[in-house]
Amino acid sequence: MKISLHLVGHYSTSGPTCIIDINKNIFWKGTLAEGHNILEFDFEPLENNTLSIHHLGKTNEDTIVDEHGTITADKAIELKSVEIEDIAILQNILFNSPYYVIWPDNLVEDFKNKGEEAPEYLKNNLYFGFNGHYSFEFLGDFVKQYYKQFWDDESQAHTNLTNRIQVNGQQIETFERFGDQTAIDQEFDLTIHDLSEMINNDEEF
C-alpha cells in the first residue's frame, strides 16, 4: 500500500523535527524542509492501521513574537493532505483525528491556575505547533476505507442534528444519513456495496 503526505515545515530559529511512523514502524525521521514537503512510503498494511506524525524538540523560544505579542515566526508542522493509493482523504476526516499534545510546563500551570486540566489531545487542527503527535487511523482494505470516510464524514456533519425515535419501546437518538434514520452510536458495519449504493443514490454527492 502507498501513502503520500503533504507537509509544510514552518521555521523560526530552525526547522521542525519530524518522525513519521505507520503501525509504530518508523518510515521517516529528520528536519522538514522549509515550505512544502511531499513524502511517500510503501508499506504492508494491517487490517487496522495508524499513521502517526510526531513533532519533537520545540521550545518556547522557537515561537518568536514582536513587541506587541504578535507571533512573527514559529516552528511547526502543518498537514495539508494525506493520500492513500492516490486517493485523497477528506479534509473533514483529517481534521477530526486527534493531535496528542506534550504541553509545555508553563501552559500546564496556566490550566491549573484556571482550575482546569490540559486536554490530552486537540481536534479540528492540522497545524502542529506544540510537541506531540497526530494520529490517523485507517483500514487496510482501502476500497472499504474509501467508502467509510463518507460514512464518517456524514456522522460528523450531523453530530448536532439529532432526532429521537422509538425503537422497541426505547428512545434512540438518530440523525438522517443518506435518507435513513441512523442511531448516533451505530458502528460502521456496512459492506462496500451498501456504501457505494448509498453514496451513488444520494443526489447531494
Tell me the CATH number for domain 2-140.
Answer: 2.60.60.40
Summarised one tens digit per residue, pLDDT across range 25-64 is: 999 999 999 999 999 999 999 999 999 999 999 999 999 9
pLDDT at 160: 47
How confident is the model over 30-41, as pLDDT tens digits? 999 999 999 999
pLDDT(178) > 60:
no
- Using pLDDT thresholds of 50, 70 and 90, give the confidence band for residue 144: confident
Exposure string of 88-119, with b = 16+ CB inside 10 Å and e = fewer, is ebbeebbebbbbbbebbeeeeeeeeeeeeeee
User: pTM for the complete prediction?
Assistant: 0.75
Domain ranges across the chain: 2-140, 144-201
- 165 pLDDT more than 60: no
Distance linking the first and last C-alpha atoms of the chain = 27
Strands 127-128 and 87-88, by their bridges, are unpaired
Cell (9 digits) for 198:
448509498
Amino acid at 156: Q
CA distance 165 to 135: 35
Q: Which three cell numbers stand for residue 125?
A: 487542527
How far is Cα 180 from Cα 135, in angstroms, rounded to an integer? 31
Would you call 181 helix, strand, or coil by DSSP?
Answer: strand
Q: Is 56 exposed, middle or buried (0-12, 13-18, 19+ CB in 10 A)?
A: middle
- Residue 176 reports pLDDT greater than 80: no
Please answer whether residues 9 and 33 qualify as being in contact, where contact means their C-beta atoms are separated by less than 8 angstroms.
Answer: yes
* β-pair partners for 74: none
pLDDT score for 16: 98
